[in-house]
Amino acid sequence: MSFLSSNLPNAAKNPRQIFVAYPYKLYDKKDYRKAYQEAEKAFSVHFVFADEKITDLHILQKIQNYIRESRFSIFDITGWNANVTLELGLALGLTERTFIIFNPSKIDVNEVPSDLRGVDRMHYSSFTDLGENLSRLLEQEFPIVREHPMESQIELLGSEMVKILEAQEGLRIGDIARGLGISVELAKLVIKPLVNRRVEMRGVKKGAKYYLLEQKG
């Protein structure tokens, strides 16, 4: 049995752990991981990052353990970093669930090998896009179960949205969605009836920010 054999006993799965591999030399660590930190808070999950350069089998074994213990893994193939590529191949060899993400402004989509084109993938052009994609993925994996009819659910989410803006005004819709642990599309649906009644929108399109209206009386 080899050191990295896929026939080893299955590692105990942590259903709320997600392994992430990304080209750490390509981005500022603090800026890149902010989206993941916000998603952790919103969905009560834990992201495990592969920070160490793979220089020996001991480190590769640790990476394998991370992958096997996680619910699924996310691989940012932007720039085709050698470590990320190796870790992706390891996950595929272990037949573990994988998602590919990349910034198309830094990599030619046509460079993605044909045998990876069947793997679920997400594109992002900014860290805001990255955060929104993470929210959509986690909402799919960890759906919010509410024991209320749709109308009541919208009202409850609206009340939670107001509380978020009470704590911090001037948030964009993506920030509010992450705070609620819902998709941007659902957040737009929730905030629509609040605009000009409880909430003021300043700006247009993606750059719009939301503020509470002063309540009379």
Q: Mean pLDDT for the chain? A: 84
Distances (CA, A) of 217 to 109, 130, 193: 57, 42, 21
The whole-number pLDDT of residue 191 equals 92
Taking the model in full, what pTM does it have?
Answer: 0.64
Instruction: Tell me which of 71 and 149 has the higher pLDDT.
Output: 71
Beta carbons within 8 Å of 175's beta carbon, 6+ residues apart: 38
Quick one: average pLDDT of 114-128?
79
| DSSP H or E stretch at residue 67 | helix 57-69
For the chain, which domains are there? Answer: 14-141 (3.40.50.450), 150-212 (1.10.10.10)
Give residue 105's pLDDT band: very low, low, confident or very high (50, 70, 90).
confident
Which residue would you say has higher pLDDT here, 108 or 77? 77
Model confidence pLDDT, tens digit, residues 49-87: 987 666 667 888 889 999 999 999 999 999 888 889 899
Radius of gyration of the chain (CA): 20
pLDDT confidence bin for 12, thresholds 50/70/90: confident
